[in-house]
Amino acid sequence: MALNLNYQPVSLVDTSTLTNEEWLQWRKKGIGGSDVAAALNLSPYRTMRDLYYDKIGVEAVEPGEDKSITFEIGHLLEDVVAKIFAKKTGLTVYRDQTMYQHPLFPFMLADVDRFITLPNGEKAILECKTAHYDLRHKWANGAVPRHYELQVKHYLSVMNLNTAFIACLFSNSENDFVWVRIDRDLDEEEETILQLERFWNDNVLARNEPPLIGDADQVLDTIRRYYGQANPGLPTVKLSPKYANDIREIMNLKEAKKEADAASRRLDKQIKSLYSPIVAEMGAACEAECYDGVERFEISYLPESRTGINKAGLDKLKAQAPDMYDALVETSECRKFKVVTKT
């Protein structure tokens, strides 16, 4: 597929006039920038199946983690990020509250944070992000988290632009701020469009569930949210024999893990046996050092405090203040996969 670069994006809808619910409904009409990583099965937050259900309007049985507040905070801080970027670069930044559509691939949508006027008069994109201070390493040395990079390159494709910047603020100080330039890559763009087109046509429009693959924890979370909690009253499921080899492999891996855990516990005891005399020498002190003429070792043995309520305390709370117990105690379901063999 040779990309045709002679086009202008279609102005689909003025988002400034939409309620949040209306905006979400417009997003279901195609694949937006924040959907791309999930559509390619590369998202750290959602599986391809999650995105599929979202696009066809299937509601989860069990709610996932509520990220609405985090999303709202990020949205509110977009203007702050844009202002810091403009101050540090001297570039003109402006907002255009329009949802755009690719004219050649109508399933591709773009709801861009900000646009930039470059010194040569060209138009560029600015994507505004905020992140926790502990995540700075993911942006070190000009790096950009892959799912954000895919998002920005999607916008470049829809808007038919060559340059974008992504900026991220890590705290309430403009010193904890990075920005990275991202240029259009037509070879990568062509491959991405082909994959997005397959997902949209073969899965979303055809109402054909994509494979439930990816990070194992994400997959299990998707299953939990869309299939609901365990129901012991349901009949036993008769599985196809095709799963037999996988079940045997599960049993083998569980046994290997059991042996590894036992070895880990033995090593832990050996380590404690070796440092027990050192701890006795330290007494109540928290730090020590040792120098044998070759190496100097600095040792710490620091206290760690944990706060919690024991079982007896919870029982007492439930008996004496049941309303408070219900308000404070949250019960979550955790299911354990177990296999036994029968001949």
Q: What is the average per-residue pLDDT within 66-75?
A: 63
Give the separation between CA 325 and CA 327, rounded to whole angstroms: 5
* Mean pLDDT on 69-88: 82
**Which domains, from first to last, does the chain contain?**
10-225 (3.90.320.10)
Q: What confidence category does residue 315 fall into, taking pLDDT thresholds of 50, 70 and 90?
A: confident
Average pLDDT of the chain is: 89
Confidence at residue 331, expressed as pLDDT on a 0 to 100 scale: 67
Q: pLDDT value at position 198? A: 97
Q: What is the mean pLDDT of residues 277-305?
A: 91
The strand pairing partners of 44, in sequence order, are: none
pLDDT of 253 strictly over 90: yes
- As a whole number, mean pLDDT of residues 204-213 equals 95
Return the structure tokens found at 280.
């006795």
**Is residue 151 scored above 90 in pLDDT?**
yes
Residue 115: pLDDT over 90: yes
- Residue 136 main-chain phi, psi, to 5 deg: -60, -30
For the stretch 137-140, contacts whose Cβ atoms lie closer than 8 Å and that sit 24 or more positions apart, written own/partner, are 139/168, 139/178, 139/180
Task: Give ∠ CA 232-235-237 in degrees, rounded to 5.
Answer: 105
pLDDT at position 334, please?
A: 66
- Residue 305 in this model has a pLDDT that exceeds 70: yes
Give me the pLDDT at residue 329, please.
Answer: 72
Interval 17-60: pLDDT, tens:
999 899 999 999 999 999 999 999 999 999 999 999 999 999 98
Give me the pLDDT at residue 312, please: 74
One-character DSSP codes across 108-124: BEE--SEEEE-TTS-EE
- What's the residue count for the chain? 343
Half-sphere exposure of residue 123: CA atoms within 13 angstroms, side-chain side: 12
User: Residue 65: pLDDT above 70?
Assistant: no
